[in-house]
Amino acid sequence: MISTLLPESWPDYELIDSGNQEKLERFGKWTVRRPEPQAIWAPSLTETEWERMTDARFVRSKNNPEAGNWQLKGAMPEKWFCAFQRPDRSLSLKYKLSLSSFKHVGIFPEQAANWDYAFDQLKFLKQKTGITPKVLNLFAYTGIASVVAKAAGADVTHLDSVKQVVTWARENMEASNLEGIRWMVDDALKFVQREERRGNLYQCLILDPPAYGRGPDGEKWILEEKLPDLLHSCSKILDLENHCFILNLYSLGMSSMIALNLLKQYFPDGRTETGEIYLEDRFAKKLPLGIYARFRSV
């Protein structure tokens, strides 16, 4: 089944407006303006209104379109904390935001749909089996998914190739008054292949691979080349009886049908749901922000 997925809102985040290849977002009490290539329509608010509301704006570098700098107004801090709350799940976490030189702030809000899914499935698996589910979060970035999984009572391994973001993820765990996540700075494919040789199994795998990247030892990652091998090895370390699996893809060259075909190839018994994740602004414009594919054992 191919579908669209809109995460539930929470108080500390809002997509206010989008258009002219930008998006205007509120994180807690601060509003940031940054590039968004897919927002090719016209914004709903005027330029004057955008400017009035903006506390920090990311301006691309003329020499490197992938980098740039932030223009701050007033008391806008470079780092601050927000909360992710789900009262119906008794879930309340804190996470740090920071204005990076690559327009990111440390969180991808659309992924809240997958955080909710992981939390619910891990809670269910723990109740059903009576065991503590083991989670492997690959390309885990600042670790919101890892912290959510830990809050669900799972045994979590968090892996990223960048030491600084692993340190950031640890801050998010500690800010949420949790402990015990296993931190790994490693190449995702090499780690999974080692786990396969060791015979280690996980009840939950979370993958959020970039289009391009480098491992800690300079290993080159190109999504289209490496993803099939990674999924093949992941299929060997996923518990066949009790599991959930989440894949997220940001690459513009990917489609939900590609994700569906890959998962059917390497996980033939999985009942896969796949489609686009999006956010909706105040004016009901839908901003697509990635491809998701996921399945569970029950």
pLDDT at 1 over 60: no
Which range marks the domain in which residue 173 is found?
106-296
More confident residue, 224 or 36: 36
Same domain membership, residue 41 and residue 124? no
Cβ atoms 159, 149 nearer than 8 A: no
Same domain membership, residue 76 and residue 119? no
> Residue 88 corresponds to which amino acid?
D
Q: What is the mean pLDDT of the chain?
A: 94
pLDDT of residue 279: 98
- Count other C-beta atoms under 10 Å from residue 186's C-beta: 18
pLDDT at 68 over 80: yes
Percent of the chain with pLDDT over 90: 86
Domain total in the chain: 2
Does 135 reside within a domain?
yes
CATH number, domain of 248, equals: 3.40.50.150
Render pLDDT for 238-290 as a digit per residue (tens, 0 to 9): 999 999 999 999 877 788 999 999 999 999 876 899 999 999 999 999 999 99
What six digits make up the tokens of 201? 């199994």
pLDDT at 73 over 60: yes
Same domain membership, residue 64 and residue 154? no
Where do we find the tokens 């801050």?
A: 171
Same domain membership, residue 119 and residue 238? yes
Does 86 reside within a domain?
no
Same domain membership, residue 111 and residue 47? no
pLDDT of residue 162: 94
pLDDT of residue 2: 60
**How far is residue 288's CA from residue 39's CA, in Å, rounded to a whole number?**
9
Q: What is the mean pLDDT of residues 104-111?
A: 96
Same domain membership, residue 269 and residue 178? yes
Q: Which pTM was predicted?
A: 0.94
Render pLDDT for 244-257 as a digit per residue (tens, 0 to 9): 999 999 877 788 99
pLDDT at 7 over 70: yes
pLDDT of residue 102: 86
pLDDT of residue 217: 80
Same domain membership, residue 184 and residue 70? no
